[in-house]
């Protein structure tokens, strides 16, 4: 067998092959974490908005929050793609990760709605449009959380 | 200062990263034979395997700062060589797809206990002569276990698959070997 060590070390020297700096990997992991957290939070937010709509208008809400559901799926898929880049993710089956992410998004979205987060957010200037329209046919009644009436 | 030969792989990597890049040759010498053998078993061509391993070592050098020295270097480098070998297989289209071997499908449900039929020595002999006939995942798992003496955990690290999946690939690969014979 050829001695590869000389070949490889010559190639490294001749072609001036350099190691990528440590900061490259640190920044990469940090961005990955930010991306993953962002994707999960966004899908939870849309899940929360969908639950809010269903609570206000029932399961057959008009218009049906199809865009919310599509965005939930999109951000879950993005989160999954980012999660697979972590070393530990290979220890778990793909379907296990998918089910866990969907469960987390649905559960936290539901809890956010039940805890009155939507009512508080709808009063804030930046989130008003999400709850009071801005898109034709997307107006939502503002009803207080059922918790207040218990 | 400890002699270089008595240092662990991870210690040598740290030395290469911090002080002396020339010591990378030590890492290459430690692993070149094993990795070329592994790559040859996957690809089926020793010349292409050497090229793959050479490229893999260069990639490993470039990304050496990203290696976590708390993990095993052997799993990391095997992973890189595995990926390069897969790329080589795709490039030269030597992979045998499971779907093309339709005769295999109904054999999987045999109730024979494969473990009883195989001793490790028999498995090594069967593997060496019939590797090319196996799909790449089964080939990789069986090669790493029987020819490279890796544990299931290490194989899972190299192939980036759950341990259960590695077990499934091993079981199916052995059944295929049994049917081939």
Instruction: Indicate which of B60, B65, B81, B163 best probes the interface with A, i.e. most A CBs within 10 Å of its own CB.
Output: B65
Q: Is the pLDDT of residue B104 over 50?
A: no
Mark yes or no for CB contact B66/A20 under 8 Å: yes
CB pairs under 8 A between A and B: 74
What's the whole-number mean pLDDT along residues A74-93? 90
* B162 close contact with A: CB closer than 8 A: yes
The predicted structure's pLDDT at residue A1: 58
Q: Is the pLDDT of residue B138 over 50?
A: yes
What's the whole-number mean pLDDT along residues B29-54? 92
pLDDT band at B25 (very low <50, low <70, confident <90, very high): very high
ipTM for the predicted complex comes to 0.75
pLDDT digits (tens, 9 = 90+) for B84-95: 999 998 887 744
Check: CB of residue A4 under 8 Å from CB of residue A12: no
Mark yes or no for CB contact B66/A18 under 8 Å: no
Higher pLDDT, B124 or B38: B38
Higher pLDDT, B118 or A5: A5
CA distances from B51 to B17, B46, B57, B92, B112 (A): 24, 9, 10, 13, 41
Check: CB of residue B97 under 8 Å from CB of residue B105: no
Q: Compute the nearest-CA separation of A105 from chain B (Å).
A: 24
Q: Compute the nearest-CA separation of B75 from chain A (Å).
A: 12
Q: What does pLDDT average to over chain B?
A: 83
> Is the pTM value of this prediction over 0.90?
no
The predicted structure's pLDDT at residue A147: 59
Q: How far apart are the first and last CA of chain B?
A: 54
Q: State the Cα–Cα distance between residues A48 and A35, nearest whole angstrom.
A: 20
Q: Is the pLDDT of residue B1 over 70?
A: no
Mark yes or no for CB contact A91/B163 under 8 Å: yes
Give the nearest chain A residue to B28 (CA atoms).
A5
């Amino acid at each position: 067998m050829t001695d590869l060590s000389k070949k490889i070390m010559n190639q490294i020297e001749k072609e001036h092959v350099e190691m990528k700096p440590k900061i490259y990997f640190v920044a990469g992991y940090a961005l990955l974490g930010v991306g993953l957290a962002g994707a999960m939070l966004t899908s939870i937010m849309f899940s929360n908005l969908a639950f809010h709509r269903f609570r206000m208008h029932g399961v057959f809400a008009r218009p049906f929050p199809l865009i919310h559901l599509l965005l939930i799926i999109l951000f879950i898929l993005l989160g999954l793609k980012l999660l697979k880049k972590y070393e530990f993710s290979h220890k778990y089956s793909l379907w296990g990760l998918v089910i866990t992410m969907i469960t987390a998004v649905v559960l936290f979205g539901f809890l956010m709605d039940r805890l009155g987060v939507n009512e508080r957010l709808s009063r804030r200037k930046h989130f008003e449009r999400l709850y009071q329209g801005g898109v034709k046919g997307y107006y939502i009644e503002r009803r207080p959380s059922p918790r207040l009436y218990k | 200062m400890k002699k270089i030969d008595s240092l662990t792989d991870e210690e040598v990597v740290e030395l290469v990263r911090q002080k002396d890049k020339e010591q990378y040759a030590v890492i290459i010498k430690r692993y070149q034979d094993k990795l070329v053998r592994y790559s040859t078993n996957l690809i089926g061509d020793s010349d292409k395997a050497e090229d793959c391993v050479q490229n893999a070592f260069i990639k490993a050098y470039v990304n050496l700062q990203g290696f976590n020295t708390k993990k095993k270097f052997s799993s990391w480098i095997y992973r890189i060589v595995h990926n390069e070998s897969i790329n080589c297989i795709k490039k030269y289209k030597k992979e045998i797809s499971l779907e093309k071997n339709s005769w295999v499908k109904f054999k999987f449900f045999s109730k024979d206990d494969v473990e009883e039929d195989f001793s490790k020595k028999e498995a090594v002999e069967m593997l060496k002569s019939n590797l090319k006939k196996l799909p790449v995942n089964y080939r990789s798992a069986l090669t790493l276990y029987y020819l490279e003496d890796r544990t299931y955990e290490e194989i899972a690290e190299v192939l980036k698959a759950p341990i259960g999946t590695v077990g499934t690939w091993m079981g199916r690969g052995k059944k295929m070997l049994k049917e081939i014979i």
